[in-house]
Copies of this chain bind each other. A is one copy, B any other.
Amino acid sequence: MNINTIELIHGEGGKHTQKLIEDIFYKNFKNDVLIQNTDSALVNLPEGKIAFTTDSFVVNPIFFKGGDIGKLAISGTINDLTACGAEPVCLSVAFIIEEGFPMEDLIKIVTSMKETCEKANVNIVTGDTKVVPKGKVDKIFINTTGMGVVNEYEPKRIICGDKVIVTGTIGEHGTAIAVDRYNLKVKGNIESDCEPLNYLLNYLKNYYKHIKFMRDPTRGGVAQVLNEISKQCDLGIHIFEKNIPIREEVKAINEMLGINPLYLACEGRMIIVVDKEVYIDILDGLVRECNCKARVIGEFTSEYEFVYIENDFGGKRVLGELDTQILPRIC
């Protein structure tokens, strides 16, 4: 048995599985609930509404600038809870690992998960590990499922004039993955924006009665989220191109790739729809208190029933739903 790699025996459920769990998972994710080692984690939840969300991560490559599959898996599920105004309480983690996967890489991923959990102040309380023969999975896939407590926030009816805020520069996660996957030689420092966003709730909770909708623009990007909101509320959205926060390098690389970055995944950004009366206060706080490069990128309108974007010269074009394949395995 090669001690430097994950072998099939690590997935058989016997003593080698137990040792892997103790040496790597318990050691890093250690907390009172996890180490009880029962079939299910036993968690005390405060009374009230619980948010529950799941995501599998199959990103390729597994290590990329600004993160790795582990950081992404923790951030992604935390952000889905955050989008519902839910404070994350705990996470489960399930690994599917390819036979022969380097132990060193697993440790790197687990360490990164641990650090991301610490940053977000969330515990991993239960898990699962499967090992499949070489060639039956591509390196490692991770599922994270999370529970959070919903505090007062709920989505509200969106009306004309409501504003769309994005909490930071867009398209960086997708672009970082493309650069690393295709080994593009580019200038500038493109990094994934992936990070857990639950820290924003501490500020946003002061404005819950003015926040109408939140969603993190992952697969399908900002454009897809806007289309989904537009359909749900039967209103158009008028986006101002000049207001979209986007780094010059991201623009340039995507022009080269022929990709519209509005369709590229962000993994550390939130789209927030807010009341037109208070949007300036909210924006101001996001910038000053949360240190975000937040911008108002558009507003709801009854003029059209779809999403459209106005460029610097007043030209308008439709920003439709994602309909083509751009970049598989982005998350």
Contact = CB atoms under 8 A, between A and B. Distances in A.
A44 interface: yes
A325 interface: yes
Given A58-B132, A145-B145, A125 B12 contact: no
Nearest to A331: B130
Contacts of A48: 44
Interface stretch (A87-95, A273-281, A298-306, A307-315): A87-95
B53 A216 contact: no
Given A13-B224, A224-B13, A43 B49 contact: yes
B51 A42 contact: yes
A329 interface: yes
Contact of A13 (B17, B44, B60, B220): B220
A118 interface: no
B42 A84 contact: yes
Contacts of A55: 94, 128
Nearest to A92: B54
Contacts of A126: 52-54
Given A58-B132, A220-B14, A328 B8 contact: yes
A191 to B, nearest CB: 22
Given A220-B12, A220-B13, A47 B49 contact: no
A127 interface: yes
A326 to B, nearest CB: 7
Contact of A58 (B81, B130, B321): B130
Given A132-B58, A137-B136, A219 B52 contact: no
Interface of A: 8-9, 11-18, 38-45, 47-58, 60, 79-81, 83-84, 86, 90, 92-96, 125-128, 130-133, 135-138, 141, 143, 145-148, 150, 155, 215-216, 218-220, 224, 228, 263, 265, 321-326, 328-329
Closest 5 CB pairs of A and B: A13-B219, A14-B322, A13-B220, A54-B92, A40-B51
28 contacts: A9-B324, A11-B328, A12-B219, A13-B220, A15-B321, A15-B322, A15-B323, A38-B155, A39-B53, A39-B83, A39-B84, A40-B80, A40-B148, A42-B150, A43-B51, A52-B90, A54-B92, A54-B94, A54-B126, A54-B128, A92-B145, A94-B143, A96-B96, A130-B329, A136-B329, A137-B141, A143-B143, A143-B145
